[in-house]
């Protein structure tokens, strides 16, 4: 009897030369973490693929769409796994073609990964093709651009047969490209920027600046919802929350109105950099897109950048809003981001923010308040929410770095479910 399995195909991971085994191991760990809710039986490498098996019938079909969203996965096929008995794999081929939906033409593409099987791939094509022609007499065999391809893959004592195969998210497995801190608002853009970095293999540590205590904490919960929606493409271990409202109020009193937004941003970047150093992250990521709003002009970006030494990555800098919205819809964060919530972005905003800041005026405003003391105070007030789904571990040096760089231990904030159930 054939069982159902997922066969994962990878592309960029396969091009990694000597590091390939390392990337494959990370990809396997990511798939295991993404499938934590399923009864995973095994996740192993076989002949240029990763084979994912389940101990409960029906789980391969359900896990199929989850695995497609794991960075590093170029394609997933929902396969039948049989032994080498021709009756078994030909029957599986009929089932595979039957579940392909509407089609007029098909072909068989057989491949053996070892040579100890009596039939070569051409003979396998003919053998399986003949059975399919008998089972689907109204359909035609077509070698070029058929509607459906039935793949037959012989690997050691097993045969994998599939027709259903869909593109995955691509990119590189999470954890293969280091760690970044992402500035996550509950808006549309920063979740997309976070997703893009995760797809390139970075572990993302989000930091959210809340307007609390000057506003409600709704934006913090929207960020938690965004993080859950981003899984399994983005695996978040911890969300850092900085209650920023009082600091903004202080800046709004001491600094010229038109430069307030730049001051808020400079403080946000400086606090994010401190958290990045504690976490061992090597860059800061934002969802800025050139010219989208007042703070995103070249002059203002430069005025904010100068307070940090870590690289600031802006993966959306050349994207149009419409493109960003389409991506947000695709990754499932758009609707959450459209639930407007007051956060630090709407708090103490000037009527006419500066669009082309002069650096001498920026420096003057920066000296108008004790920014170093404010940064220390904010770092000491950072809270966090832990998520359990992450496949990576906090570095061992975290505690030492924390004691060195943060004046007080961060306070844990319970996720929403816990709060509502208590
Ligand atoms: N409250 C916040 N917490 C954390 N990061 C923020 C916050 N507000 C803004 N940012 C960061 O600064 C970037 C620019 O924010 P800005 O408010 O200028 O634009 P935006 O179009 O509202 O962005 P977004 O849609 O991502 O909120 C955001 O993409 C995000 O990376």
pLDDT mean by block of 10 residues, the chain; 422 residues? 92 73 91 93 93 96 96 97 96 95 95 82 95 95 96 93 96 93 95 97 95 89 92 90 94 91 96 94 95 79 95 96 96 89 66 79 95 95 78 50 64 59 38
Distance 80 CA to ligand 1 centre (A): 46
CA-to-CA distance for 196 and 304, rounded, in angstroms? 22
Separation CA 64–CA 352 (nearest Å): 50
Q: Which residue owns the Cα nearest ligand 1 atom 6?
A: 185
- Give yes or no for a contact between 314 and 193, defined as CB atoms under 8 angstroms apart: yes
User: What pLDDT shows up at residue 200?
Assistant: 96
pLDDT of 399 reads: 56
Location of each CATH 3.40.50.620 domain in the chain: 179-407
Distance 290 CA to ligand 1 centre (A): 13
Farthest-apart Cα atoms in the chain, separation: 84
- Among candidate residues 185, 184, 238, the one with its CA nearest the CA of residue 389: 238
Q: 345: Cβ below 6 Å to ligand 1? A: yes
- Residue position matching structure tokens 């709004």: 252
> Quick check: CB of 190 below 6 Å from ligand 1?
yes
Write the ipTM: 0.97
Spacing, Cα 139 to ligand 1 middle (Å): 54
pLDDT for res 22: 86
In DSSP notation, 282-341 reads --EE----TTSSGGGSHHHHHHHHTT--S-EE-TTTT--HHHHHHHHHHHT-HHHHTS--
Residue 368 has phi, psi (to 5 degrees) of -75, -10
249 phi/psi in degrees, rounded to 5: -60, -45
Reduced to 3 states, what is the DSSP secondary structure of residue 96? helix
Domain 3-167: CATH class, spelled out: alpha beta
User: What 3-state class would DSSP assign to 281?
Assistant: coil
pLDDT at 291: 80
Residue 166 confidence (pLDDT): 95
Task: Among 182, 190, 191, say which to mutate for ligand 1: greatest number of ligand atoms within 8 Å of CB.
Answer: 190
In this structure, the residue with its CA closest to atom 5 of ligand 1 is 183
Helix axes 189-199, 321-331, angle to 10 degrees: 70
Q: Which CATH superfamily is domain 179-407 in?
A: HUPs (3.40.50.620)
Q: How far is the CA of 73 from the centre of ligand 1 (A)?
A: 29
b/e per residue 103-133 (b: at least 16 CB within 10 A):
eeebbbebebeeeebebebeebbebbbebbe
Confirm or reject: Cβ of 267 under 6 Å from ligand 1: no
Ligand 1 atom nearest to CA at 261: 18
Q: Phi, psi (5° rounding) for residue 303?
A: -65, -30
CB 201 within 8 A of CB 174: yes
* pLDDT at residue 394, as a whole number: 47
What does pTM read for this prediction?
0.89
- Provide CB contacts within 8 A for 105, sequence distance 6+: 139, 140, 141, 142, 146, 147, 148
- What pLDDT is attached to residue 340? 67
pLDDT number for residue 21: 86
CATH 3.30.2130.30 residue ranges for the chain: 3-167
300 lines ligand 1 (CB under 6 A): no
**Which residue matches tokens 């920066």?**
366
In short, whether 333's Cβ falls inside 6 Å of ligand 1 is: no
Say what the pLDDT of residue 420 is: 44
Write the CB contacts of 322 (distance below 8 Å, at least 6 apart in sequence): none
CA–centroid distance, 317 to ligand 1, in Å, is 13
Ligand 1: atom nearest CA of 292 is 21
- Look at residues 217, 163, 173 and name the one whose alpha carbon lies nearest to residue 347: 217
Instruction: Please give the distance, rounded to the nearest whole angstrom, from the Cα atom of residue 2 to the centre of ligand 1.
Output: 50
CB 251 within 8 A of CB 264: yes
Q: Is 53 left (phi over 0), alpha (psi -120 to 50) or beta?
A: beta
């Amino acid at each position: 009897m054939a069982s159902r399995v997922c066969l994962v195909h990878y592309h960029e991971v396969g091009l990694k030369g000597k590091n390939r085994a390392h990337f494959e191991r990370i990809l396997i760990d990511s798939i295991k973490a993404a499938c934590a809710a399923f009864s995973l039986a095994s996740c192993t490498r076989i002949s240029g693929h990763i084979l994912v098996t389940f101990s409960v019938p029906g789980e391969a079909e359900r896990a199929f769409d989850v695995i497609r969203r794991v960075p590093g996965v170029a394609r997933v096929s929902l396969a039948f796994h049989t032994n080498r008995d021709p009756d078994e794999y030909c029957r599986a081929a009929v089932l595979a073609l039957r579940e392909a939906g509407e089609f007029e033409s098909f072909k068989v593409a057989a491949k053996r990964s070892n040579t100890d099987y009596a039939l070569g791939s051409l003979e396998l094509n003919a053998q399986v093709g003949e059975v399919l022609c008998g089972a689907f007499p109204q359909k035609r065999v077509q070698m070029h651009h058929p509607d459906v391809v039935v793949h037959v893959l012989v690997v050691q004592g097993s045969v994998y047969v599939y027709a259903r195969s869909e593109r995955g998210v691509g990119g590189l497995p999470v954890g293969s490209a280091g760690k970044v801190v992402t500035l996550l608002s509950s808006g549309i853009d920063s979740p997309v920027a976070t997703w893009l970095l995760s797809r390139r293999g970075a572990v993302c540590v989000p930091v959210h600046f809340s307007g609390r205590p000057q506003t409600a904490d709704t934006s913090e919960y929207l960020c938690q919802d965004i993080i859950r929606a981003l899984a399994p493409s983005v695996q978040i271990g911890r969300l850092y929350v900085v209650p920023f409202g009082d600091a903004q109020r202080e800046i709004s009193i001491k600094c010229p109105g038109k430069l307030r937004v730049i001051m808020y941003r400079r403080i946000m970047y400086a606090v994010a950099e401190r958290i990045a150093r504690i976490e061992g992250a090597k860059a800061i990521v934002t969802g800025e897109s050139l010219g989208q709003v007042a703070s995103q002009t070249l002059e203002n970006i430069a005025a904010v950048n100068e307070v940090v030494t870590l690289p600031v990555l802006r993966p959306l800098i050349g994207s149009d809003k419409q493109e960003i919205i389409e991506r947000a819809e695709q990754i499932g964060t758009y609707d959450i981001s459209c639930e407007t919530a007051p956060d630090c972005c709407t708090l103490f905003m000037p009527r006419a923010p500066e669009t082309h800041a002069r650096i001498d005026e920026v420096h003057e405003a920066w000296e108008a308040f004790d920014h170093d003391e404010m940064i220390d105070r904010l770092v000491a007030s950072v809270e966090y929410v832990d998520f359990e789904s992450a496949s990576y571990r906090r570095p061992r040096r975290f505690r030492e770095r924390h004691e060195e760089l943060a004046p007080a231990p961060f306070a844990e904030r319970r996720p929403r479910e816990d709060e509502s159930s208590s």
